Amino acid sequence: MKILIVGVFLGLTLLACTPQTKQEQGEKVMKQLVTLYAVDPKPGHIAVTVTGHGCTLASQFKIEAVQEGGVCRVSVYRTQIDRCRRSAMPKSLEIPWDAKQVCGDASIEINNPQKPGAKHPLLIPGNSK
């Protein structure tokens, strides 16, 4: 009986030491369409201005694009939470992304919501950059 109890205890101890995924560790795995202050596709990257709290990094964002009927619909997603506690403020970032390679010469439509008075059109005609 003692051997069984010790075996169960050791098994539970080893189980508790196994690596956990981010979800098991309590970190949120997310994909949130962000509201943009500004956006500008450039060669090799897309410049965006988003809301940050002090720890916002370009690596916390993902760009997705879908071509439909001569228009390239682009979405900017946040994949990690900014855990800093500073007051919300605009944060400019350059996210690696090649508009010419992904969208060719199609017009670019930004799917993200925009802040009132935002500095980007919803449709950027003919991708010549």
pLDDT digits (tens, 9 = 90+) for 45-80: 999 999 999 999 999 999 999 998 889 999 999 999
Range of weakest confidence among 10-19, 62-71, 92-101, 112-121: 10-19
Distance of CA 59 to the CA centre of its chain: 7
Percent of residues, the chain, with pLDDT higher than 70: 68
Does the model's pTM come out above 0.85? no
DSSP state of 80: S
pLDDT interval class at 22 (50, 70, 90):
very low
Question: What are the residue boundaries of the structural domains of the chain, listed by start?
Answer: 23-124
In three-state secondary structure terms, 9 is helix
